[in-house]
Amino acid sequence: MSASEPLLSVRDLRVHFQTDDGLVKAVDGISYDVMPGGALGIVGESGSGKSVSSLTVMGLTRFPNARISGQVLFEGRDLLTASNEELRKIRGNDIAMIFQDPLSSLHPFYKVGTQLVEAIRAHTEVPKRAARVRATELLALVDIPEPARRIDDYPHEFSGGMRQRVMIAMALANDPRLLIADEPTTALDVTVQAQILALIRRLQDELDTAVVMITHDLGVIAETVDDVAVMYAGRVVERAPVQTIFSAPEHPYTWGLLRSIPRMDLPRALDLVPIPGRPPSLINLPSGCSFHPRCPYVRERHRKVDPPLDAVPGDPGHRVACLLEPQTRRKLWRELQAGQAPAEARAAVEREGEPA
Amino acid sequence: MLAYIVRRLLWMVVLLLAISTITFVIFFVLPSDDPALRRAGSRASPERVEAVRRQLGLDKPVIALPWKDSQMRRYYDDLFLHGDLGRSYTNNAEVKDLITTRLPTTIQLAVGAMVVWLLIAFPVGILSALKRRSLADRAVMGVTLIAISAPVFWLGLVALYLFDETLGRFPLLPGVDSYVPFKDDPAQWFQSLLLPWFVLAASFAAIYARLLRSNLLEVMNEDYIRTARAKGLRERQVVMKHEVRSAVTPVVTILGIDLGVLLGGAILTESVFNIPGIGRLAYNAISRGDLPTIQGTVLFAAFFIIVLNLLVDIAYSFLDPRVRY
């Protein structure tokens, strides 16, 4: 496979769940690519579909009430049509995953060594003894001190950060080509978060593993990924290289996310601005642009027209699903960067006269 | 751990003392036959009855002062100083002997039934959980409700009506009064206990199947089960090694309590099938006002419950590494 072919290519993926309350459109037509050894960040609030889409890649949403369509091409193979046994062979072997809460993600009754050996032997026929040697190496690889001794400890005997290291070691057991990290630092202390991110970055370089980093925290992706997909209500609303997301974001939701985290490069006096409202119900999505009820720059038309994910003029690598005119968006972002509140920015841009 | 066990054993002595006191008091508070009259026989002269009364110590005040002359004092002395449970009012036999000769039968009945109900409950509970909301699941869970609701004496009579080899519709198995000790004839022993085992096990099998099912359904949503799948484990391993392993822990708790209760005598089952176990001994003792035998069986039942509870707690620290004493 040539280096220019994506390792993972998700095409128009839809994951809907039939529930008693109605059809939940958890993921509603998303597409993204991950290059071999590359790193993609998927950003969004809870309920934006970022976890469900990744679990679907792993084949872990095959519930009786799930309706899944689209394509998930991994090394050219469509995982959505793969049999359960084929998928099982890929899980933990070619694609591995780590989760948000490392304590609840490890079985409380088994020693970490047992759980690591199990992961190794699920895909490789090696004697237990050899698998145990490998397990010790893996613990050393993720910087757990005294791995030969800690291998016989239970998960509850580890600290939160150490548990996440164990999870990472387990994910790396079979040299996966892709690692999906679902909010890997959310349950950890801030100081530990940085260590875990550094570890993931280091392993990504050393082992040439591609990474999908799922998070609600833009701070997490800033230094770990190459590309970013911003998800809202089951859709990708903006996709761009990571520098562009921070320097020239185009979607009002992305602006909201950026304005709600502390930044070193903006004036200290600038208040953090939360995004008003709540994520929409995935059963009754708002008409038109699904962000319109929370968007400070909404126009009447946006309540009816569903925006496509189009390339930003002049930058084919940057796509955004927004009905505002490109010039208007740029003006608004300039006002916001200058420290204006959303309402002030809107007023300023409207004073200048907006193209119809 | 050792200190914990010793502490629990000391508490057991306190509990047994309390229980024997309560049994003692209840016996004298509630109206019952005159034990002396019963022991002496219906045609005995009043002098003879009085002699028996003196012999049994029943002429002494029950609890009242002076303490050293009271029946209770004598009872405690025998029990705690000499380990003597006394003699039956009905046939003068040592209560200790009465219990020890019947204990093996009760243990065989209880443990055999436990094996039966676990053998039924595990596959049923696991399959029901895996096929939740399916027709089979709903049907099986409906049957378990019937098994739980059916009184064991009724179930025993139905079993006899259906399968008893002399009077049943489908004469397959020996029924009432067929019990022979294991050492006399193992094959006959096994056959004679089959019906009682299943009758006794029925409601437990149903309760355990439901418990296991609901535990499993809860465990299935745990994050670590998702991890097990994400590792690429085979579905069989996910279920048996990860889900069932977590779901059995609460089962062990009630298993200990249930077995403890049954070792104290399965009164109804033993009565329906006329099996000479502790339960029948207790039943007869109660209906005849035989205080020493009642005391003995009650103490034994309490002893088993307490010991099995202790065993459960010890087992827990092996089942769940997070538990430490």
pLDDT for residue B35 is more than 70? yes
pLDDT for residue B201 is more than 90? yes
Write down the pLDDT at residue B64. Answer: 65
What is the CA angle B188-B274-B16, rounded to 5?
A: 110
Percent over 90 (pLDDT), chain B? 54
* Cα-Cα end-to-end distance for chain B: 5
Mean pLDDT of B184-194: 92
A-facing residues of B in 114-133 (CB < 8 A) are none
* Cα-Cα end-to-end distance for chain A: 48
Q: How many residues does chain A have?
A: 356
Mean pLDDT of B255-260: 92
Point out which residues pair with A311 in neighbouring strands: A319
Proportion of chain A in helix, strand, coil states, percent, rounded to 5: 35, 20, 45
Write down the pLDDT at residue B31. Answer: 67
Range in A14-28, A298-312, B280-294 with the lowest mean pLDDT: B280-294
> What's the rounded Cα separation, in Å, for the pair A117 and A126?
10
Mean pLDDT of B223-243: 95
Write down the pLDDT at residue B195. Answer: 93
pLDDT for residue B203 is more than 50? yes
The CA R_g of chain B, rounded to the nearest whole Å, is 24
B305: pLDDT confidence band, cut at 50, 70 and 90? Answer: very high
Cα of B225 vs its chain's centroid, Å: 36
Residue of A nearest to B322 (CA): A156
Q: Which site among B219, B223, B227 would you substitute to test the A interface, given the most A Cβ atoms closer than 10 Å to its Cβ?
A: B227
Q: Which site among B224, B239, B249 would you substitute to test the A interface, given the most A Cβ atoms closer than 10 Å to its Cβ?
A: B224
> What's the rounded Cα separation, in Å, for the pair B179 and A84?
53
Cα of A58 vs its chain's centroid, Å: 14
> Looking at beta carbons, which residues of chain A come within 8 Å of B320?
108-109
Helix (H) or strand (E) holding B103: helix B95-130
Cα distances (Å, whole numbers) of residue B149 to A84, B139, B302: 41, 16, 26
pLDDT for residue A356 is more than 50? no
> What's the rounded Cα separation, in Å, for the pair A315 and A322?
15
Mean pLDDT of B154-180: 88
Cβ–Cβ < 8 Å for B159, B198? yes
Write down the pLDDT at residue B91. Answer: 81
Nearest to A35 by CA among A58, A62, A63, A6: A6
Average pLDDT for chain B: 89
Nearest to B237 by CA among A64, A95, A122: A122
Cα distances (Å, whole numbers) of residue B188 to B158, B161, B265, B275, B278: 22, 20, 22, 14, 21
Write down the pLDDT at residue B301. Answer: 92
A269: pLDDT confidence band, cut at 50, 70 and 90? Answer: low
What is the DSSP secondary structure assignment for residue A142, as one 8-state letter?
A: T
Domain ranges of chain B: 2-82, 97-319
Percent over 70 (pLDDT), chain B? 98
The tokens of A271 are what?
Answer: 């208040």
What is the DSSP secondary structure assignment for residue A265, as one 8-state letter?
A: S
Write down the pLDDT at residue B189. Answer: 92
Cβ–Cβ < 8 Å for B309, B264? no
Tokens 């050894």 belong to residue:
A37
Write down the pLDDT at residue B90. Answer: 80
Cis status, amide bond into B66, omega within 30 of 0: yes
Comparing CB atoms, the residue among B224, B232, B242 nearest residue A89 is B232
pTM (2 d.p.): 0.85
A1: pLDDT confidence band, cut at 50, 70 and 90? Answer: very low
The C-alpha of A251 sits at a distance from chain B's nearest C-alpha, in angstroms, of 34
Nearest to B323 by CA among B313, A150, B256, A149: B313
- Spell out where chain A has E strands: 8-19, 22-34, 39-43, 66-74, 77-78, 95-98, 178-182, 210-215, 227-232, 235-241, 310-312, 315-320
Cβ–Cβ < 8 Å for A260, A275? yes
pLDDT for residue A24 is more than 70? yes
pLDDT in tens, A128-151: 999 999 999 999 999 999 999 999
> Looking at beta carbons, which residues of chain B come within 8 Å of A164?
none
pLDDT for residue B206 is more than 60? yes
pLDDT in tens, B43-73: 888 888 888 888 777 777 776 666 777 787 7
pLDDT in tens, B80-115: 777 788 888 888 889 999 999 999 999 999 999 999
B167: pLDDT confidence band, cut at 50, 70 and 90? Answer: confident
Q: Give every CB contact of residue B10 below 8 A, 6+ residues apart in sequence.
A: none
Which CATH number applies to B97-319: 1.10.3720.10, 3.40.50.2300, 3.40.50.300, 3.90.120.10?
1.10.3720.10
Say which amino acid occupies A118: E
Residue of B nearest to A154 (CA): B321
A-facing residues of B in 236-295 (CB < 8 A) are 237, 241-242, 245-246
> Looking at beta carbons, which residues of chain A come within 8 Å of B233?
88, 92, 118, 122
Burial class of A308 by CB neighbour count within 10 A (0 to 12, 13 to 18, 19+): exposed
pLDDT for residue B274 is more than 80? yes
B200: pLDDT confidence band, cut at 50, 70 and 90? Answer: very high
pLDDT for residue A243 is more than 50? yes
Write down the pLDDT at residue A270. Answer: 65
